[in-house]
Structure 1
């Protein structure tokens, strides 16, 4: 089942902290800024004391869902089987500014995006094999709550299910995949209707989408597996602690996945969503699309339909 949403403010067990939590003053004054997609007055990401990674911002740009996802992952994969995902140290809302603060563990490594071109083919295959194992573990290790919804079983966070006001018909959660599909068609009609145009494509979705994509399992999904959200580092040649492997030198200089980050779009989606969510935004400029199929099994028919949905919803 999905984890119950903790009441904010949330603070982890002090014994898990690597040091005192950063104060708001430390966070707001940090000059170690990590680039984000939106304007800085909406959301900001900073590193504090080289130890804490903090996201903070307005409620439409920084979402509690990310913190809930990290709690869920650590709940289902405690040590010694922990996954390479950040630990959530604190999550709270500032009453004066109404900004949400998510304080996380700073994970080691460089983004896969930054080193991909310099990697040898054998290293790319090694990294994709590691990622496949990780995401297989996640899918198999986190049970379905029985609904398509957020990490806590609430409304979906993906923008395809956004509405200006809460509306379960569009936001979910959904028990039936037909309703999940119908929500995207309704969202599309409303967006086009606001422009005063006849929503021809949206009407097509309303007629066909509910029955076009059915029969998929509900699985826990990251929802944004881009190379920038995967951190990697070169091994030092030492076998993992407790390992019987004596051939550590054979590992030296090889790459390993050190973290999967940016879980804000995570939730329970149809089994094809992890592949389609990436496919909809592919840039066919290198070998990443082919390598991604080694991480997540391709769903070309579903992905093609979702690409059409994106063209209508993201006009």
Structure 2
């Protein structure tokens, strides 16, 4: 009874706060509402995003929005975060707000942040999972959380629809066979390092946002996910290839899977 009353109170508070805030500040996106000069509320979120924000803040110097509090509303998670002053890199590029030197410096800074993520050590070596070894969400895999996977072999089997490795060449081609036969390190990965998730101000990165897809993945995943849903911004990709570890064979393998069996989590739930 007490828990129900508490949830009703939280629900009322959250509804009033976000409704008033939308009138005052507008929406920052489909799941983010600015609720004051210095705060936003994001949700509903998966637990993996909360785990990632805490883990990255505690383990690296990467700038991420600070968590202020969480809410549970109709069994869904909402996170109150600091509002980050700045503009996303995509908008800054479209509006020509950055010089060539500033763009290069931002990419170099981003590369340093990616190196920090790749140096982190997983709780369970080989797992494909969220920061705290739970289920992970990535729209490349599907619209529902999946896993955790005990090892890369289990994860790769899921990506190819559980087609046996010995049949992989015939079904998906040589590149997928080579990729899924290889041993990789496990690295912490943002999984959505697009320009819209990089907030800049005065020519520097002030925050990396939207950690919803992050988790422990094979070391090539950050690079291949950079090219998923490739946008027409060749200078951005050429700069990334300059500073990030390249996995071009794995990218070809992933492109084959994108074409033939994309979002396996959705297809295998049908």
Is TM more than 0.5 here? yes
> Shorter-chain TM-score: what band?
0.7 to 0.9
Q: How many residues get paired?
A: 241
**2:194 alignment counterpart:** 226
CA contact (8 A) 1:233 1:257 kept: yes
1:144 lines up with 2:127 in the alignment:
no
1:109 lines up with 2:86 in the alignment:
yes
Return the offset for 1:138.
2.4
CA contact (8 A) 1:144 1:268 kept: yes
Distance 1:163 1:34, change over 3 A: closer
Which residue, out of 185, 199, 204, partners 2:160?
185
Instruction: State the distance in 1 between where 2:219 and 2:69 align.
Output: 31
TM-score by length of 2: 0.79
Which residue, out of 23, 27, 49, partners 1:33?
27
**Structure with the larger RCO, 1 or 2 (CA within 8 Å, 6+ apart):** 2
SS in 1 for 2:70: strand
1:121-149 per-position Cα deviation (integer Å, ceiling 9, x unaligned): 21111111111112212222x21221111
> Aligned Cα RMSD in Å?
2.9
Instruction: State the distance in 2 between where 1:70 and 1:93 align.
Output: 17
**1:69 alignment counterpart:** 52
**1:159 alignment counterpart:** 139
Alignment of 1:1-315 (within 5 A): 23-24=13-14, 25-31=16-22, 32-36=26-30, 44-57=31-44, 62-77=45-60, 82-94=61-73, 97-117=74-94, 118=96, 119-140=98-119, 142-145=120-123, 146=125, 147-162=127-142, 171-186=146-161, 204-205=171-172, 209=176, 212-213=179-180, 214-234=182-202, 255-314=203-262
- Farther off after superposition, 210-219 or 299-308: 210-219
Instruction: State the distance in 1 between where 2:36 and 2:62 align.
Output: 24
Instruction: State the distance in 2 between where 1:217 and 1:201 align.
Output: 22
Structure 2: state its 5+ residue gaps: 1-11, 264-270
CA contact (8 A) 1:181 1:210 kept: no
Return the offset for 1:89.
1.6
Instruction: State the distance in 2 between where 1:310 and 1:208 align.
Output: 13
Instruction: State the distance in 1 between where 2:79 and 2:169 align.
Output: 37
Distance 1:188 1:224, change over 3 A: farther
Structure 1: state its 5+ residue gaps: 1-21, 37-43, 190-199, 235-254
Instruction: State the distance in 1 between where 2:67 and 2:169 align.
Output: 40
Return the offset for 1:91.
2.2
CA contact (8 A) 1:162 1:187 kept: no
Instruction: State the distance in 2 between where 1:175 and 1:102 align.
Output: 29
Instruction: State the distance in 2 between where 1:131 and 1:163 align.
Output: 27
Return the offset for 1:206.
9.9
TM-score by length of 1: 0.69
Distance 1:284 1:187, change over 3 A: farther
Return the offset for 1:208.
7.7
4+ residue runs over 3 A deviation? 159-164, 200-203, 205-211
CA contact (8 A) 2:57 2:63 kept: no
SS in 2 for 1:292: helix
